[in-house]
């Protein structure tokens, strides 16, 4: 599971207010990153750092959304069990600073893709009051 300290916070500091995720730009970035062949495009180390940071921050927010939706599933649900496996892996990957390398950025891209795949298999989140 994602630690509470990694939960996304809105501008007012509350973790329970979730903004809808604009997935298209991130999925385009994921697709571009996963298309890199070794050793990758001619980018500077700072470019890899920025891409890794963007993907890691988005993955944390996305994992929080997946975790909130997963919490509403029955404890014996197969979907919940599979979702908890993905969230466990996300928690492990996001508990360490992202590596600013082609491989590190591609691992984060695969994580974002896996989180979106899992999110798409869950029921929509209940509307906020």
pLDDT at 23: 87
Residue ranges with strand state E in 1-129: none
pLDDT in tens, 73-105: 999 989 999 999 999 999 999 999 999 899 999
pLDDT at 37: 83
The full set of domain ranges for the chain reads 22-33+44-120
Determine the Cα–Cα distance for residues 50 and 37; give it in Å rounded to an integer: 19
Using DSSP's 3-state secondary structure scheme, residue 109 falls into helix
pLDDT at 109: 97
Token reading at 51 = 């891409």
Q: Is the pLDDT of residue 7 over 70?
A: no
pLDDT at 34: 94
Q: pLDDT confidence of 122, banded at 50, 70, 90?
A: confident
Q: pLDDT confidence of 116, banded at 50, 70, 90?
A: very high
Determine the Cα–Cα distance for residues 21 and 29; give it in Å rounded to an integer: 14
pLDDT at 22: 82
pLDDT at 12: 38
CB 115 within 8 A of CB 63: yes
Pick 1 or 20 by higher pLDDT. Answer: 20
Integer-rounded Cα radius of gyration of the chain: 15
CB 89 within 8 A of CB 104: no
Mind giving me the DSSP string for the chain?
A: ---GGG----TTS-TT--PPP-HHHHHHHHHHHHTPPTT-SS--HHHHHHHHHHHHHHHHHHHHHHHHHHHTS-TT-HHHHHHHHHHHHHHHHHTSPPP-SHHHHHHHHHHHHHHHHHHHTSPPPPPP-
pLDDT in tens, 25-68: 999 999 999 999 876 678 888 999 999 999 999 999 999 999 99
């Amino acid at each position: 599971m994602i630690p509470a300290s990694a939960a996304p916070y809105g501008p007012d500091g509350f973790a329970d207010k979730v903004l809808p995720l604009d997935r298209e730009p991130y999925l385009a970035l994921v697709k571009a990153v996963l298309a890199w062949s070794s050793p990758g495009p001619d980018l500077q180390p700072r470019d890899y750092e920025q891409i890794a940071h963007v993907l890691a921050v988005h993955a944390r927010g996305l994992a929080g959304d997946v975790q909130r939706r997963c919490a509403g599933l029955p404890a014996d649900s197969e979907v919940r069990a599979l979702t908890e496996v993905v969230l466990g892996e996300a928690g492990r990957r996001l508990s360490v600073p992202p590596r600013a390398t082609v491989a590190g950025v591609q691992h984060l891209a695969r994580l974002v893709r896996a989180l979106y795949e899992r999110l798409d298999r869950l029921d929509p989140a209940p509307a906020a009051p």
